Amino acid sequence: MNVFKRGLLPPLHMGGLAWWRRPSTVPLALLVTALFIIIAGGTIRINDAGESCPDWPQCFGTWGFDISEEQQGAYWEEHPDEIDSRGADHRYTTFEIFSEWFHRLLVGIIAIPVLLNAIMARKMIDTYGKSVYISTLFSGILLIIQALVGALTVYMDNIDWSVALHLSLASIFTSSFLFQHFAMRRIENPDSGLFAIHSKFVSSSVKRVDAMAGAVFTLLILGAWVSTTAGGQYNQGCSVGFPNGWPKCNGSFLPSLDGPGILVQMIHRFGAVLVGLILVSGSARLRADAREYEVTPSFGRITDMAAGLWILNVLVGGSYIVLADMDDFPEWISLLHLLFGVFCFLVAVSASFILRLNATMNMHTEEE
């Protein structure tokens, strides 16, 4: 099973080297930066600042963010076709404009290390293999696409499907660094139990783990849809408070779907229940199979963590409704809800990546 001993890839055995000195730390640093970009995007949404820069890549025709109310008014007069949904009389605060401007700045900044990351992978292709290099190119292409989708979101006045697409690409972009990290770690430390998983366990579990990661990803996008449909007003569809607003909806577990936003809310809630069943049952089954094939306990902890994050995020999402007033929702909890959703996806997709990398190693072994 050890493809390194067969000469396919040279083992590095960096297990004794400090983690921050290993090349595999580079994609982890990029992952953290990508998470900051997601946080910045979520901050824009909770402050309702998604339209605070009406043009792209500039902001009110400038490269700065300190745009006075007079300058905003003059810009609307010169560009009436870019007046957003709030109308020409609306004025954005400096903080709202800054949040959008800073988000764009972060995307521009990360482009430099993403490029350097690809150069590093190209120079070390004989050590880490072609898959690592391809993953860095994939990250770079995704960043370009993500920037263009961000521009589209601006020009579409933050329509719900564009925001959901923006978040989905951001999540995939972030996860690409996770794949690169694990692909490099299996070269640096081939003796790790995570990369010596029994081939029968891999073949019997890979589709189940893929389904778990896919379910979390789908729920994440559903959440973005709920939070942006009708300008986020559908958050009020099920009323507020405990228990009538959550876990019930307008006082019932099976409410009438006639009211505005109720259908959207219930799709998200039933989706969360379905994803929970997939995660909890899938994790339990993986635990049982892991004992049979003597798989390292570390792998089981990953899938258990995904299920645990889902449970925690259900409670966070519920608290957003329970602690709200009809005219005042605790938007910081909404941001926390987004972050836990992204973390849950990254943990679940980590398990998928690990099994996929093991499957690749097993395939090479069989070919030998």
pLDDT of residue 35: 96
pLDDT of residue 265: 87
* Torsion of Cα atoms, 91 then 72 then 38 then 46, to 10°: 0
Are 261 and 175 in the same domain?
no
| Gap between the Cα atoms of 191 and 316, Å rounded | 39
Are 228 and 80 in the same domain?
no
Report helix, strand or coil for 2: coil
pLDDT by 10s per residue, the chain, length 368: 344 443 344 555 555 566 677 899 999 999 999 999 999 999 998 888 888 999 999 999 999 999 999 999 999 999 998 888 788 899 999 999 999 999 999 999 999 999 999 999 999 999 999 999 999 999 999 999 999 999 998 888 888 888 889 999 999 999 999 999 999 998 888 778 888 899 999 999 999 999 999 999 999 998 888 877 755 666 778 888 999 999 999 999 989 888 778 888 899 999 999 999 999 999 999 999 999 999 999 999 999 999 999 999 999 999 999 999 877 888 899 999 999 999 999 999 999 999 999 988 755 444 44
Residue 49 phi, psi dihedral angles, 5° rounding: -110, 15
- At 119, list the tokens: 């150069």
pLDDT of residue 9: 47
Are 97 and 62 in the same domain?
yes
Are 224 and 312 in the same domain?
yes
**Residue pair 140/115 in contact by the 8 Å Cβ criterion:** yes
Domain carrying residue 298: 193-368
The structure's pTM equals: 0.90
**Residue pair 283/307 in contact by the 8 Å Cβ criterion:** yes
Are 274 and 136 in the same domain?
no
| Gap between the Cα atoms of 184 and 121, Å rounded | 10
Contacts 24+ apart (CB under 8 A), 113-120: 113/26, 113/29, 113/30, 113/33, 114/30, 114/139, 114/140, 114/143, 115/140, 117/26, 117/27, 117/30, 117/180, 120/23, 120/26
| Gap between the Cα atoms of 207 and 227, Å rounded | 30
**Residue pair 98/44 in contact by the 8 Å Cβ criterion:** no
**Residue pair 367/339 in contact by the 8 Å Cβ criterion:** no
Are 94 and 228 in the same domain?
no
Span between the terminal Cα atoms of the chain, in Å: 10
| Gap between the Cα atoms of 185 and 220, Å rounded | 28
Indicate the residue among 132, 164, 191 that finishes a domain.
191
**Residue pair 185/345 in contact by the 8 Å Cβ criterion:** no
Are 105 and 220 in the same domain?
no
Are 277 and 180 in the same domain?
no
- At 330, list the tokens: 């605790």
Residue among 195, 199, 192, 183 nearest 289 (CA)? 199
Q: Which residues pair with 62 in a beta bridge?
A: 59
Are 165 and 235 in the same domain?
no
Are 67 and 145 in the same domain?
yes
Indicate the residue among 136, 166, 191 that finishes a domain.
191
Residue among 292, 321, 334, 286 nearest 307 (CA)? 286
- At 50, list the tokens: 């998604």
| Gap between the Cα atoms of 30 and 139, Å rounded | 10
Are 341 and 354 in the same domain?
yes
* Burial of 102: CB neighbours in 10 Å, binned 0-12, 13-18, 19+: middle
Indicate the residue among 133, 165, 191 that finishes a domain.
191
Are 20 and 126 in the same domain?
yes
What's the structural domain count of the chain? 2
Peptide bond into 57 cis (omega under 30): yes
The label of the residue with tokens 């493809």 reads: 3
Contacts 24+ apart (CB under 8 A), 201-208: 201/289, 201/290, 201/292, 201/293, 201/295, 202/355, 202/358, 202/359, 202/362, 203/359, 203/362, 204/289, 205/286, 205/289, 205/355, 206/352, 206/355, 206/356, 206/359, 208/282, 208/285, 208/286
pLDDT of residue 156: 86
